[in-house]
């Protein structure tokens, strides 16, 4: 998306700018406290026991419990997959390629992986093509994906699991815009004066606006920018 506009924010004195910023900061702080309260409620959610699924990883079949790799907590991004397509979902591809350093989860006894409906050989080839560095697993021969709301030909999702010994429990799920909190792209773009420039957003008169998703990277763009 290219910004082509003469629209500019009002120009004010430094004192007025600081005053207006302070007004906004009140709402930002309130939002932070609300997110803290939401996280507290999330920690109090019940959970549901999962069957003993077998997925396929780079080294062959692997039980879901073993994907934890000894950790007690697991975050799974369920990546959309369209059979026979050269390029998979641009949103999933762009989002997941951001996660290049996940070692920070180790002190929290957690791991983060991708699970897709694609056959493992195709999934791994696609991972390399777009420069993704996460560990991928296939649920093509398992009902796991469908059971966690990411069926064949269906949408993307994020699911979180807790392991107690050899028993795995599902603790949280989201999809749609719920995944935005996991990305750095949208928070950074939302800081910009013109924001995402999408026509559904509330922007001042004259601000540049385009149809939703216009500024998103397509899978080809991801491969060009970050691919191996």
Retrieve residue 125's tokens.
Answer: 């080839």
Looking at residue 4, what is its pLDDT?
57
pLDDT-derived band at 2, boundaries 50, 70, 90: low
Strand partners of residue 55: 62
How far apart are alpha carbons 208 and 228 in whole angstroms?
34
Please state the rounded mean pLDDT for residues 163-192: 95
pLDDT-derived band at 181, boundaries 50, 70, 90: confident
- Those residues whose C-beta lies under 8 Å from the C-beta of residue 81, and which sit 6 or more positions away, are 88, 89, 116, 117, 118, 123, 152
Beta strands 48-49; 167-174: pairing state: antiparallel
Give the end-to-end CA distance of the chain in Å, rounded to a whole number: 25
Looking at residue 224, what is its pLDDT?
94
Please state the rounded mean pLDDT for residues 11-18: 98
Ordered by start, the domain boundaries in the chain are 48-179
Tell me the DSSP string of 102-165: -GGGGGGTEEEEEEESS-HHHHHHHHHHTT--S-EEE-TTSSHHHHTT--TT---EEEEEEEET
Looking at residue 50, what is its pLDDT?
98
Phi, psi angle pair for 78, to nearest 5°: -90, 105
Looking at residue 6, what is its pLDDT?
76
Answer CATH for 48-179 from 3.30.470.20, 3.30.450.40, 3.40.30.10, 3.10.310.10: 3.40.30.10
Nearest one of 176, 228, 129, 185 to 1, comparing CA atoms:
185
* pLDDT tens per residue, range 42-101: 999 999 999 999 999 999 999 999 999 999 999 999 999 999 999 999 999 999 989 989
How much is the mean pLDDT over the chain? 95
pLDDT-derived band at 227, boundaries 50, 70, 90: confident
Q: Is the pLDDT of residue 105 over 90?
A: yes
Q: Is the pLDDT of residue 3 over 90?
A: no
């Amino acid at each position: 998306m290219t910004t082509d506009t003469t629209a500019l924010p009002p120009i004010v004195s430094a004192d007025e700018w600081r005053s207006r910023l302070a007004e906004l900061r009140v709402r930002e702080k309130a939002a932070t406290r609300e997110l803290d309260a939401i996280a507290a409620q999330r920690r109090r959610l019940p959970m549901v026991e999962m069957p003993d699924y077998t997925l396929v990883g780079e080294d062959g079949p692997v039980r879901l419990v073993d994907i934890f790799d000894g950790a007690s907590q697991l975050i799974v991004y369920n990546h959309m997959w369209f059979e026979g397509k050269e390029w998979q979902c641009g949103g999933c591809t762009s989002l997941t390629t951001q996660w290049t350093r996940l070692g920070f989860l180790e002190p929290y006894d957690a791991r983060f992986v991708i699970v897709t409906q694609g056959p493992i050989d195709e999934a791994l080839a696609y991972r390399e093509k777009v420069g993704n560095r996460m560990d991928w697993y296939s649920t093509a021969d398992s009902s796991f994906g469908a059971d966690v709301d990411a069926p064949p030909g269906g949408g993307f999702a994020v699911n979180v699991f807790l392991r107690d010994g050899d028993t795995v429990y599902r603790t949280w799920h989201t999809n749609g815009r719920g995944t935005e909190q996991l990305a750095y792209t949208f928070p950074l773009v939302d800081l910009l004066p013109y924001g995402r420039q999408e026509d559904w957003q509330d922007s001042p008169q004259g601000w540049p606006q385009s149809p939703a998703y216009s500024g998103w990277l397509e899978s080809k763009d991801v491969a060009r920018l970050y691919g191996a």
